[in-house]
């Protein structure tokens, strides 16, 4: 590494953004000040009132225009993400397309914010789903575009305004998305991106009384702070936090398929994925055979040129994060095998498979958030469930078996918000996503996400 700071906060409130693939400085960006954040929130308050007063069909049309603007900018957004976040181009294109799809999906919601009619004595009772007002969305650096869209698309659809705080290291696509909203004709102030520090901009979303809900995605430690801050104003909060998910492989499974897909369940986005199945649990009777199959699959992951369509894995996002990941693999004592990675410059870390000495080793318990996976044996079904649940987290996971009864028993037994059977897939915009235990609070995506950005108002109308 050439010694250029990854992203240094300078006096005067700006940041040097660094390309993680080669450590070149790509831009210097000013941080938002507290006064700018407060002004933006006030602006959002008035924009929201006008937005909520529009007929639902007009709000739906606005979101469709926003989706179309994103569709026209997929390549531009993808190239920004390659440069700013170190994502391979094929993955970055998928992410920009996903933003378009999320917006399209929630563009139907304004006309489907359906209340209830409830039979009561002496009149009728109706409920309305009222927008909250201004929603603050705080996102991390691992999937800057997609995670932002999971917050802003349903929030806007429900009639709210949004202020978005991107991670300090990766703000460029979020800034462009707010410009695209304006270009699509959404009202000024309705959707604003405010780059800056978490302990300045992010904290202001929590403390400013005009922000009525905070959607936070990031580490469990910061999520706890955000939740405690929201408690002071009894402010609504959704938290999507860390994970240490299990990929559970039974002896009766299609072992070849389970081994061939296991790298993609953890090394996608260089393991910087809250859904990463970073613990592979394998039934003891097939453990050795599984490891034989896993080795070529891991060594076959293509790591390198981010502009090559076939590249599957890029670098870690920043030097500080590289150092954190590297601290979990100080030597080769637990390493079973590794894939390849460029030497540098850039924050390249090879796909790494560990055989931990115990079930309580920190590589087994901590969210490493890099391309590092631990493989552990289990004895039987109940041991597999107990081992999968032996974590403070409960976000994701996979179960590999040909026995449908076992698939259902183990799915019900694992304390996790999102499981897949005989698959490593994690997220679909049309299905709910969120965590058990310290992986979070509330759900994003799916058919109910827009109503999570409303208050239910109950009105009784006397017929006397």
Q: Which residues are catalytic?
A: 240
**Nearest-angstrom CA–CA distance, 167 and 163:** 13
Q: Nearer Cβ to ligand NDP, position 200 or 291?
A: 200
**Nearest-angstrom CA–CA distance, 125 and 144:** 43
**Nearest-angstrom CA–CA distance, 85 and 232:** 34
Residue 218 within binding range of ligand NDP, rule CB under 6 A:
yes
Segment lying near ligand NDP (by CB under 6 A), choices 60-68, 71-79, 119-127, 220-228: 220-228
Q: Nearer Cβ to ligand NDP, position 131 or 171?
A: 171
Residue 203 within binding range of ligand NDP, rule CB under 6 A:
yes
- Long-range contacts from 28-31, C-beta under 8 angstroms, 24+ separation: 29/171, 29/195, 30/195, 31/195, 31/196, 31/197, 31/200, 31/201
Residue 215 within binding range of ligand NDP, rule CB under 6 A:
no
| Strand bridging mode 191-193 / 352-354 | unpaired
Q: Nearer Cβ to ligand NDP, position 439 or 454?
A: 439
Go through the chain and tell me how many residues it has.
Answer: 464
Of the residues 222, 261, 438, 454, which one makes contact with ligand NDP according to CB under 6 A = 222
For ligand NDP (CB under 6 A), the number of binding residues is: 25
Residue 208 within binding range of ligand NDP, rule CB under 6 A:
no
**309, 275 contact by CB (below 8 A):** no
**Nearest-angstrom CA–CA distance, 294 and 337:** 10
Q: How far is the CB of 291 from ligand NDP (least distance, A)?
A: 26
Segment lying near ligand NDP (by CB under 6 A), choices 51-59, 197-205, 248-256, 283-291: 197-205
Q: How far is the CB of 89 from ligand NDP (least distance, A)?
A: 22
Residue 242 within binding range of ligand NDP, rule CB under 6 A:
yes
Q: Nearer Cβ to ligand NDP, position 17 or 297?
A: 17
Of the residues 14, 219, 365, 411, which one makes contact with ligand NDP according to CB under 6 A = 219
Of the residues 178, 274, 276, 450, which one makes contact with ligand NDP according to CB under 6 A = 274
Of the residues 93, 98, 165, 213, which one makes contact with ligand NDP according to CB under 6 A = 165
Residue 269 within binding range of ligand NDP, rule CB under 6 A:
no
Q: Nearer Cβ to ligand NDP, position 189 or 198?
A: 198
Of the residues 82, 138, 161, 329, which one makes contact with ligand NDP according to CB under 6 A = 138
Q: How far is the CB of 169 from ligand NDP (least distance, A)?
A: 6
Q: How far is the CB of 269 from ligand NDP (least distance, A)?
A: 10
Site for ligand NDP in 320-349 (CB under 6 A): none
Q: How far is the CB of 223 from ligand NDP (least distance, A)?
A: 7
Segment lying near ligand NDP (by CB under 6 A), choices 87-95, 184-192, 239-247, 373-381: 239-247
Of the residues 91, 107, 217, 416, which one makes contact with ligand NDP according to CB under 6 A = 217
Residue 144 within binding range of ligand NDP, rule CB under 6 A:
no
Please, which residues have CB within 8 angstroms of residue 331's CB and are 6 or more apart in sequence? none
Segment lying near ligand NDP (by CB under 6 A), choices 139-147, 154-162, 303-311, 340-348: 139-147
Residue 241 within binding range of ligand NDP, rule CB under 6 A:
yes
Residue 14 within binding range of ligand NDP, rule CB under 6 A:
no
Q: How far is the CB of 144 from ligand NDP (least distance, A)?
A: 9
370: tokens are 């890099």
Q: Nearer Cβ to ligand NDP, position 278 or 454?
A: 278
**417, 442 contact by CB (below 8 A):** no
Of the residues 142, 352, 396, 454, which one makes contact with ligand NDP according to CB under 6 A = 142
Q: How far is the CB of 356 from ligand NDP (least distance, A)?
A: 18
Of the residues 105, 367, 426, 443, which one makes contact with ligand NDP according to CB under 6 A = 367
Binding site for ligand NDP (CB under 6 A): 138-142, 165, 167-168, 197-199, 202-203, 217-219, 222, 225-226, 240-242, 274, 367, 369
């Amino acid at each position: 590494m050439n010694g250029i700071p990854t992203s240094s906060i300078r006096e005067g409130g700006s940041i040097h953004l660094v390309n993680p693939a080669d450590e070149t400085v790509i831009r210097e960006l000013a941080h938002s000040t507290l006064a700018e954040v407060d002004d933006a929130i006030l602006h959002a308050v008035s924009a929201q009132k006008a937005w909520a007063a529009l007929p639902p069909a007009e709000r739906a049309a606005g979101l469709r225009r926003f989706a179309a603007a994103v569709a026209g900018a997929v390549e531009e957004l993808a190239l920004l993400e390659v440069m700013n976040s170190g994502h391979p181009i094929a993955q970055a294109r998928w992410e920009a397309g996903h933003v378009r799809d999320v917006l399209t999906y929630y563009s139907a919601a304004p006309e489907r914010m359906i209340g209830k009619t409830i039979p009561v004595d002496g009149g009728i009772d109706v409920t309305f789903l009222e927008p909250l007002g201004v929603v603050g969305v705080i996102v991390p650096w691992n999937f800057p575009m997609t995670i932002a869209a999971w917050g802003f698309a349903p929030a806007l659809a429900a009639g709210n305004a949004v202020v978005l705080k991107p991670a300090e290291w990766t703000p460029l696509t979020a800034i462009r998305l707010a410009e695209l909203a304006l270009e699509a004709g959404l009202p000024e102030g309705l959707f604003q991106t405010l780059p800056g520090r978490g302990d300045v901009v992010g904290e202001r979303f929590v403390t400013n009384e005009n922000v009525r809900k905070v959607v936070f995605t990031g580490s469990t430690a910061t999520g706890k702070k955000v939740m405690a801050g929201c408690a002071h104003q009894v402010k609504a909060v959704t938290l999507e936090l860390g994970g240490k998910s299990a990929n559970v492989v039974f002896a009766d499974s299609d072992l070849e398929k389970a081994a061939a897909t296991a790298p993609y369940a953890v090394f996608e986005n260089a393991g910087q994925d809250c859904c990463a199945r970073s613990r592979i649990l394998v039934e003891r009777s097939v453990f050795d055979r599984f490891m034989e199959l896993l080795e070529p699959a891991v060594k076959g992951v293509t790591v390198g040129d981010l502009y090559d369509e076939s590249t599957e894995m890029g670098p870690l996002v920043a030097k500080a994060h590289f150092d954190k990941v590297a601290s979990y693999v100080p030597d080769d004592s637990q390493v079973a095998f590794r894939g390849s990675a460029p030497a540098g410059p850039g924050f390249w870390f090879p796909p790494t498979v560990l055989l931990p000495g115990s079930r309580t080793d920190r590589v087994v318990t901590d969210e490493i958030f890099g391309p590092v996976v631990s493989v552990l044996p289990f004895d039987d079904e109940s041991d597999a469930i107990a081992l999968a649940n032996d974590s403070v987290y409960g976000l994701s996971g996979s179960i590999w078996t040909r026995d449908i009864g076992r698939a259902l028993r183990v799915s019900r037994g694992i304390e996790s918000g999102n499981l897949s059977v005989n698959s490593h897939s994690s997220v679909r915009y049309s299905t709910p996503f969120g965590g058990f235990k310290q992986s979070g609070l509330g759900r994003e995506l799916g058919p109910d996400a827009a109503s999570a950005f409303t208050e239910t108002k109950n009105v009784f109308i006397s017929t006397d």
